[in-house]
């Protein structure tokens, strides 16, 4: 497994990270606790040492399961635990809250749920437009000084917000959405992060399963699964994405003897500026393809071929904006 040093820290996470949003159950049609625990343990055992979670995933449940898995498996010291704060919630659901009071309460809740006395990478989940950025930045800087966290990150921030934050607190990583189908960060954010020397943990490597190759025209989702309202999964756009997957899968087989899932992850890891790709899984066997992502790379010609396939198939692209949580006054 490839690893990478993150700036402003002594962290050296695996370049593939396990994403544990689905393990929390909420917005993913529920969770199986034993499977979830085994998935986290299996990830670390196979060298996927970076585990990404958030307080809001299952309203604490994902963190609890990650904590139990690492504790029961005796794996805490091998893992790079990344979690997130600054979303609050009430009966109407989550909302942005990057106040000092909220972050100071959340760090202790997260440490307790994760059964640990330090968090490796602590990230502001979403910017809160109702507060000054410096308030969250100062709070995070102090948490690092106190030793509760080893490194600071932000997620879903613009270049301007990142630079404002860095005036007060140096960042080790930024977490934006990025995958073959969601390329919004290529114009501005990714070049700026490369220029500023900040690490990236990019999320949604498989575009919520679309790039796994298992989605069919008649795939149904259970319960509160967010893919029921995800605009990519609605016809006729859904069929365009499925066509792209089919053609990319054929390309991967013909040129590399690989499948679409391997191609999707390899493409991400080969993009200049991507440090770590977050791959969501909730069963250990879903991580089996990880080995086949290592030990090869895509050349420029392949990247151009891939872009041509995407241009020819996805005529009506849409981004991940539907996932953005509201502010306090909007809930």
Q: Mind telling me the catalytic residues?
A: 57
Torsional sign, CA 312, 207, 229, 223: positive
**Smallest distance from the beta carbon of 19 to ligand NAP, in angstroms?**
2
Residues in contact with ligand NAP by CB under 6 A are 19-22, 28, 52, 125, 155-156, 175, 203-209, 212, 214, 261, 278-282, 286, 289
Residue 143 vs 207, nearer CB to ligand NAP: 207
Q: By the 8 A CB rule, do 304 and 42 touch?
A: no
Q: Tokens 């404002």, residue?
A: 164
Rounded Cα gap, residues 169 and 144, in angstroms? 10
| ω into 261 cis (within 30 of 0) | no
Give the nearer residue to ligand NAP in terms of CB position, either 147 or 328: 328
DSSP codes joined into one string, 202-271: EB-TTTTTGGGT---TT----TT-GGGT-GGGSTTHHHHHHHHHHHHHHHHHHHHS--HHHHHHHHHHTS
Residues 129/86, Cβ–Cβ less than 8 Å: no
Closest contact distance (angstroms) between CB of 284 and ligand NAP is 10
How does DSSP classify residue 281?
-
Distances (CA, A) of 157 to 34, 37, 39, 190, 324: 34, 31, 29, 12, 12
Count of Cβ atoms closer than 10 Å to residue 94 Cβ: 20
Q: What is the dihedral of CA 238, 240, 242, 245, to 10 degrees?
A: -140
Q: How far is the CB of 224 from ligand NAP (least distance, A)?
A: 12
Q: Is 87 helix (H, G, I), strand (E, B) or coil?
A: strand
**Minimum CB–partner distance for residue 237 and ligand NAP (Å):** 17
- 204 or 273: CB nearest ligand NAP: 204
The answer to whether 268 touches 176, Cβ cutoff 8 Å, is: no
Task: Answer for the pair 164, 183: CB distance below 8 angstroms, yes or no.
Answer: no
In this structure, the chain runs to a length of 331
**CA-to-CA distance for 325 and 331, rounded, in angstroms?**
9
């Amino acid at each position: 497994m490839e690893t990478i040093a993150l700036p402003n820290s002594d962290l050296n996470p695996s370049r593939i990270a396990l994403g544990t949003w689905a393990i929390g159950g909420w917005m993913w049609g529920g969770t199986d606790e034993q499977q979830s625990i085994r998935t986290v343990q299996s990830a670390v055992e196979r060298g996927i040492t970076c585990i990404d979670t958030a307080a809001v995933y299952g309203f604490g449940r994902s963190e609890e399961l990650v904590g139990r898995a690492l504790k029961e498996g005796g794996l805490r010291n091998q893992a790079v635990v990344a979690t997130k704060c600054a979303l609050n919630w009430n009966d109407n659901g989550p909302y942005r809250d990057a106040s000092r009071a909220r972050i100071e309460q959340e760090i202790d809740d997260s440490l307790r749920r994760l059964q640990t006395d330090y968090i490796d990478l602590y990230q502001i989940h979403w910017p809160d437009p109702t507060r000054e950025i410096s308030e969250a930045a100062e709070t995070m800087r102090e948490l690092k000084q106190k030793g509760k966290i080893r490194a600071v990150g932000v997620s879903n921030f613009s270049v301007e917000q990142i630079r404002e934050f860095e005036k007060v607190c140096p960042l080790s990583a930024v977490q934006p959405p990025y995958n073959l189908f969601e390329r919004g960060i290529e114009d501005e954010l990714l070049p700026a992060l490369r220029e500023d020397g900040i690490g990236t943990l990019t999320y949604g490597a498989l575009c919520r399963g679309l790039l796994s190759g298992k989605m069919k025209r008649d795939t149904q989702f259970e319960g509160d699964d967010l893919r029921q309202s995800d605009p990519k999964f609605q016809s006729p756009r859904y069929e365009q994405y499925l066509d792209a997957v089919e053609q990319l899968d054929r390309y991967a087989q013909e040129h590399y003897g690989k499948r679409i899932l391997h191609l999707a992850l390899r493409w991400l890891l080969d993009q200049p500026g991507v440090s770590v790709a977050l791959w969501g899984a909730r069963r250990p066997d879903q991580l089996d393809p990880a080995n086949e992502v290592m030990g090869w790379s895509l050349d420029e010609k392949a990247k151009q071929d891939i872009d041509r396939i995407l241009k020819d198939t996805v005529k009506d692209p849409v981004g991940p904006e539907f996932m953005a949580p509201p502010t306090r006054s909007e809930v």
